Amino acid sequence: MSNSPVHPRRGLMLVVSSPSGAGKTSLSRRLLGDHAELELSISCTTRGPRPGEQDGREYHFIDRAKFDVMIEQDAFLEWADVHEHRYGSPTAPVMAALADGRDVLFDIDWQGARMVAASAPQDVVRVFILPPTMADLKRRLHARAQDAEDVIERRLGRAKGEIEKWTDYDYVIVNADFDQAFAELAHIYHAERLKRMRNPGLEPLVQALLNEPL
Ligand code: 5GP
């Protein structure tokens, strides 16, 4: 897809949530890789980096004091306590991207999804990723081998509470097969981009079509 649209458009906020291990991050990264006009909202977190994670790429890794200063400064579009740590989406880069006609993807939990949707209901599209079975979720968390056993157990313990929030979302994808789930996510994104209200820049084209003599 082109990075410089011919017609000015209104950017959207694509919120993707799931219990840990349902494949949301891999699906999101692939969508981002395929679309230069879609950028990731890089969250701040007070948790430490996992092996392979880089500050400023997956997250901005900051301490609790810095996080709380950012809350006081109203620097977050949303923030929440998740798995005993704080996570938040900084507002400024999101606003800059949207003002530039780009779209923003959020890999955030249901609490954040609610807050972002409340702040801009027209511009938010919410997608929930379900695992096909709980056994599959457990297997993926272990296969990822990035977390200690007690962390995995805590994440599994929270999974059902997160799954219960699926009714908040506009779309739901069951990630039984990665390629299929990715195709579904891409279809949702492409269709949402084509919504009439997101393409006010088409007005002159429509006027020109209507004014053209037959
Ligand atoms: P993880 O520690 O596995 O990277 O993320 C744990 C959970 O926190 C995931 O469900 C992830 O989507 C969520 N999360 C990550 N960043 C944010 C954020 O900025 N805000 C909120 N509300 N949740 C987040």
Atom of ligand 1 nearest to the CA of 59: 16
Instruction: Give domain status of residue 56, yes or no.
Output: no
Instruction: Give domain status of residue 74, yes or no.
Output: no
Q: The whole model's pTM is what? A: 0.92
The order of strands in the sheet holding 124-130 is: 38-40, 103-107, 13-17, 124-130, 171-174
Instruction: Give domain status of residue 48, yes or no.
Output: no
Give the Å distances, CA to CA, from 63 to 23, 42, 67, 73, 120.
27, 16, 6, 16, 29
- Interval between CA 87 and ligand 1 midpoint (Å): 6
Residue 31: which CATH number?
3.40.50.300
Asked if 123 contacts 2 with a C-beta cutoff of 8 angstroms, the reply is no
Mean pLDDT, residues 106-120: 96
Give the residue with greater pLDDT, 12 vs 3.
Answer: 12
- Interval between CA 208 and ligand 1 midpoint (Å): 46
> CB count, 10 Å around CB of 59?
20
Atom of ligand 1 nearest to the CA of 24: 12
> pLDDT digit string (tens) for 64-93?
999 999 999 999 999 999 988 999 999 999
- Residue-range definition of the domain harbouring residue 153: 13-41+101-207
Task: Supply the residue whose CA is at minimum distance from atom 15 of ligand 1.
Answer: 108
